[in-house]
Structure 1
């Protein structure tokens, strides 16, 4: 067993070995196994135990990373888990899906990465801590010690909603969790493919919430199946944590052609089929030429899913270069290993059912009546930075090209559904298209109605959503506590 830390010279950085590409594209299982106990201990022992732990600073949850790395190196796994779960409701989930290379393992966050030794394998160790805890029965439902007699309705069972529900239930409140889908998890269950995180990982967390007494209502859509007025009538407080699922518009002629779909429609259809909610997926890439438009992690999920469904070919088009894509370079590497192609600095201009030279000789509107068969695009080059400091791509004259496509997937990102429309105007939106809520209290314009997660932040990472869920739960508990405090104490800020 490792007896001390700072072994980064004798121990090289190592992640769990990936399965071979030809093996992993034949199924939807995770591409990496868990680290062994010895591997995790060796990797954790590399930590330099910095005086100022920037890994902790750059983690949105401010996880106490150096301490649980030390505990792992020393074999104190139950202590490591207790410390990890004190700040993170789902450590084994974050260990799998967080982009650590942009957070705790980045060169600005890990001094070993800066020094050229390679960052500590924080994500792999975090996953191992969680998996070890599950294997040993250390993960137990947080059943409240006392009940408050108050009820909270949480709309959205994604990472923000699930984290909020767990914290609120632990605080003693009756918690009802509402979601459009039949299962908890939100995009963790329906939007993240199983080759990144298998369904059972989220399902057991969902089971833990049920065991703690959280009541789940699946197939309930706000504004359709249940109104905000109904929720406010049933509960003492309501949390809106329904995420950001509305696809950004693909602004190109032919965007409405059959065969042009949104990334979330595609991923949800695939996930529902894999977990047995449906038969064959509603959108199947088998034997089709697939073009994915976008450069984020969702685009990579679509690319890699299409490969596994047996597509004839998969190409991802992104208008900037590889170094300026918003998604994880780790995911791009996985996709390339699995046979996907990338058209960097390429921007689609039109989607058609025949080549552009045929359309040019036909009446206006020809080529947008059948199913999609072709993507007409052009090359771009970066020009001077725009207002936000990022270089802006411009068209390269004469660079037009065409690529065959039987299925085009729009992965240009997502926006938040209009809360005003969903709530009859009771909740408002910001100019940036997010639910408007006070920064400190997290309350919206409607009394007792709070917002959290992507619905408040805009599209973001699961780890930020978990933080949002924890913070809104604390805000709701303060609100409910103030509502029940005797008048003589309500005005006394020193009480308690």
Structure 2
């Protein structure tokens, strides 16, 4: 019988931190399977028992979802796994996904009180274990609303923000329809994030569960200016539903100029990753088969320092690249990507060119080299980040057959694409919404996730989707009361 009570916790003084076992680099380079193994029940309980149960849980404070982390750690330590799952799922629609891809080193684990001196609790791995165990035990059930409502909500975008909002609204009994231009649910979780971080069945499993709960998906059906076989006009969508949520994310890749930037062999990260993920899913990908979006046998240079860049370099390794280099204009300490992912990339053979930026690309019709210049860090700019300045006379060449631009994403021009000029955007092209209402400039049209805040984390999209669902529910309820009064 499991020990309960305070004696089960506070074991960080006697139990060392243990991360899930990680497959050897030589083994994981050969496939796209996840690199971390799951905790056993015993490992999860032991690691959860290291939690200090501090009075002010900084792990929860620094979690965008405000997850009740100390509570479900205590429940796991006491072998109360069904309760741990209920507590975890109460604040997070996809804990098994966040447990895999959240940058815990910058969020919950990075702010763990015991980090100073004893190393943090392995929160992400325990979070993943809780829900995977719940799936195995049959505790994860489809949505069953207490009652059905006649009102319907249309959600544009089947990424994490749209899916979180869909689930929350369906729980309240709304008729929820999700529209997405892609043929699978998940957004960047399915086509952007490689399988070695998030195996695709994890996302597809959630899709099936949401569908079983009554959410209707219209896949391969984007939003446009006119109705067609593949698109539905935004005006039609508004007329069809009582409220609309725009959760499209941001997909327009930032460009890189300079001499030779138009040469063949210079590709966008989203195109490269999508081709790789589609092939892993069994799709026919002509651009991959032709070699255009395939790193096999090539000298690869990835430009950028975020998580997308890490996804690209590690994908290139698995595709059998001859060499893989990552070019980033700042140093390791200022890199926006996860420290853990950078370490994994280095273990797998990726070479990092810190403090270096592309100046030009050389080659006849296809790229053959990247001319880079060394950079030095200067004074902090308006954002607080150190500026970067080129070092005179430091130009050098990196041989390259394939250059992947991983410079981030900007929003598409939705007002023009959807023929809705009244849909107001910010100077960055993101949709303007009320600070608390999530409503755009169009009545009954809400927006959440990256299309509002700019490119960000999956966990923030989930938070925004949940908050937007709450506001949609209140708005529809208020409208129903006004109509009843009339």
Q: Distance in 2 between matches of 1:403 and 1:306?
A: 16
User: What is the CA-CA distance between 1:352 and the residue it aligns to?
Assistant: 1.7
- What aligned pairs does 1:23-422 form with structure 2 within 5 A after superposition? 23-106=27-110, 109-114=111-116, 116-223=117-224, 225-279=231-285, 282=288, 283-353=293-363, 367=364, 370-422=365-417
Structure 1 counterpart of 2:475, from 469, 475, 479: 479
User: What is the CA-CA distance between 1:231 and the residue it aligns to?
Assistant: 0.6
Contact 1:13 1:120 in 2 (8 A): yes
Per the alignment, do residues 218 and 160 of structure 1 end up closer, same or farther by CA in structure 2, a change over 3 Å counting?
same
Per the alignment, do residues 488 and 271 of structure 1 end up closer, same or farther by CA in structure 2, a change over 3 Å counting?
closer
Contact 2:275 2:285 in 1 (8 A): no
Q: Distance in 1 between matches of 2:301 and 2:3?
A: 49
User: What is the CA-CA distance between 1:477 and the residue it aligns to?
Assistant: 0.9
SS in 2 for 1:409: strand
Q: Which residue of 2 aligns with 1:462?
A: 458
SS in 2 for 1:217: strand
Q: Distance in 2 between matches of 1:69 and 1:433?
A: 41
Contact 2:169 2:176 in 1 (8 A): yes
User: What is the count of residue pairs matched by the alignment?
Assistant: 472
Q: Unpaired segments of 5 or more residues in structure 2? A: 226-230
Point out 4+ residue stretches in structure 1 off by more than 3 angstroms. Answer: 486-490
Answer with 450-459 or 276-285: which moved more.
Answer: 276-285
User: What is the CA-CA distance between 1:423 and the residue it aligns to?
Assistant: 2.6
User: What is the CA-CA distance between 1:278 and the residue it aligns to?
Assistant: 1.9
Q: Does 2:9 align with 1:5?
A: yes
Task: State the Cα deviation string for residues 394-426 of structure 1 (Å, max 9, x = none).
Answer: 011111000111111000100111222123213
SS in 2 for 1:485: helix
Query: CA RMSD for the aligned pairs?
Result: 1.3
Task: State the Cα deviation string for residues 205-240 of structure 1 (Å, max 9, x = none).
Answer: 011110011111111222261221011011111111
Q: Distance in 2 between matches of 1:328 and 1:7?
A: 28
Task: State the Cα deviation string for residues 243-278 of structure 1 (Å, max 9, x = none).
Answer: 011101112222222111111111011101110122
SS in 1 for 2:185: coil
Task: State the Cα deviation string for residues 164-205 of structure 1 (Å, max 9, x = none).
Answer: 111111111111111121110001111010000101111110
Q: Distance in 1 between matches of 2:24 and 2:252?
A: 35
TM-score computed with the length of structure 2 as normaliser:
0.95
Per the alignment, do residues 253 and 227 of structure 1 end up closer, same or farther by CA in structure 2, a change over 3 Å counting?
farther
Contact 1:272 1:281 in 2 (8 A): no
SS in 2 for 1:111: coil
Q: Unpaired segments of 5 or more residues in structure 1? A: 354-366, 491-496
Q: Distance in 2 between matches of 1:254 and 1:227?
A: 39
Q: Distance in 1 between matches of 2:447 and 2:275?
A: 28
Q: Which residue of 1 aligns with 2:228?
A: none
SS in 2 for 1:8: helix
